[in-house]
Copies of this chain bind each other. A is one copy, B any other.
Amino acid sequence: MSDNQPTFSAESYFRTQPSPPNLEHDLTGVRNFVSRQIAENRKVVLVTSGGTTVPLEHNVVRFLDNFSAGTRGATSAEYFLEHGYAVIFMHRQFSLQPFSRHYSHSTNPFLDFLEIQSNPKDGESPSETIAIQPATVPHLLPILAKYRAVQQSGALHTLTFVTVNDYLFLLRGVSQELSRLGRDVMYYLAAAVSDFFLPTQRMSEHKIQSGKGTLNIEMDQVPKILKPLVDEWTPEGFIVSFKLETDPSILLSKAEAALERYGHQVVIGNDLNRRKFEVVLVARESVLKSIDSTNWTEIEGETGPDKFVQNWLRLREGKTEIEEDIVNELIRYHEGWGRMGKASRN
């Protein structure tokens, strides 16, 4: 790689950057999980969630990060589980997780719904124990019941990443394991992955010292990983990627450009300020062949052979989470995707 050509290809990225130390261990866990799901005839979705970091130093003190609490991924994972999918939940360490997300440190801190009770027993010295405040039970009980049911069914497998490098190596490895599932796998790539990284060869060994004026950071582009994912690692997978923009006027064109460039199935477009109650699904029309697609409309101005279509989802009255509808819709398309595969084999 010459200095004049700073952009890494996926191939040169994986050749020159170090693989994370626990990668093989993580992939063995995925392999076993996938085998069990195949035996139980479950479809699998890989949900990625949370932001990735870009360390500026080998001994990491400072890093570039992407804003993401992991709400979309953790919430969606619950709905996929409810619909019978097995879920590989690949998330940023400490980001929100399915079920426990309802009780974070700030929303409903759990110490606040516990109470100390004195337990005087006949003939024994009084002792204290802990009870759940009764007012909490109606909200917590169904969540706990679902959590326990998922633990028993073995339908949830969790992986963690921190850096963008962890993420890229994990995604490649996991998708290669998942390719065994053919069309029975969905990729729901909700993680907020950095577009830039600092090659390990240019990283500072120790903490960058201040006191020397301004800080200058020059980062390379992260390779476009969707391309090899679609073309090589999991050619039959149903792949849903996400676009988050702060400028709504470029959201649709960015989504179309991604579909055109990578050839996958669906892009979910989010405007940063509206993403909790409105998203747009964008797809190539050919992907919708075998489903009822009456709620999709053509994107204005698109008339070529590879027409783009859009489907706006808005939070329905009485609902609290738009992820319920996103997941419902995607599962319909995934079924269609499976039928298309069967049709093309016949």
Contact surface of A with B, Cβ cutoff 8 Å: 6-7, 53, 57, 59-67, 69, 93-94, 96-97, 99-100, 103-106, 109-111, 114, 116, 128-132, 136-137, 140-141, 143-145, 147-148, 192, 194-196, 205-207, 210-211, 213-222, 244-247, 272-273
Contacts and interface: CB of A to CB of B under 8 A. Distances in A.
Contacts of A213: 6-7, 221
Given A61-B192, A215-B218, 5 more contacts: A62-B67, A65-B65, A94-B104, A130-B140, A207-B247
Number of copies: 2
Contact of A137 (B100, B104, B129): B129
B105 A111 contact: no
A62 B60 contact: no
A173 to B, nearest CB: 22
Contacts of A116: 141, 144-145, 148
B114 A105 contact: no
B67 A63 contact: yes
Nearest to A195: B210
B137 A246 contact: no
Contact of A62 (B6, B65, B104, B143): B65
Nearest to A143: B111
Given A61-B246, A66-B61, A147-B111, A218 B207 contact: no
10 contacts: A59-B246, A63-B65, A65-B65, A93-B106, A110-B110, A129-B141, A131-B132, A196-B215, A210-B221, A216-B217
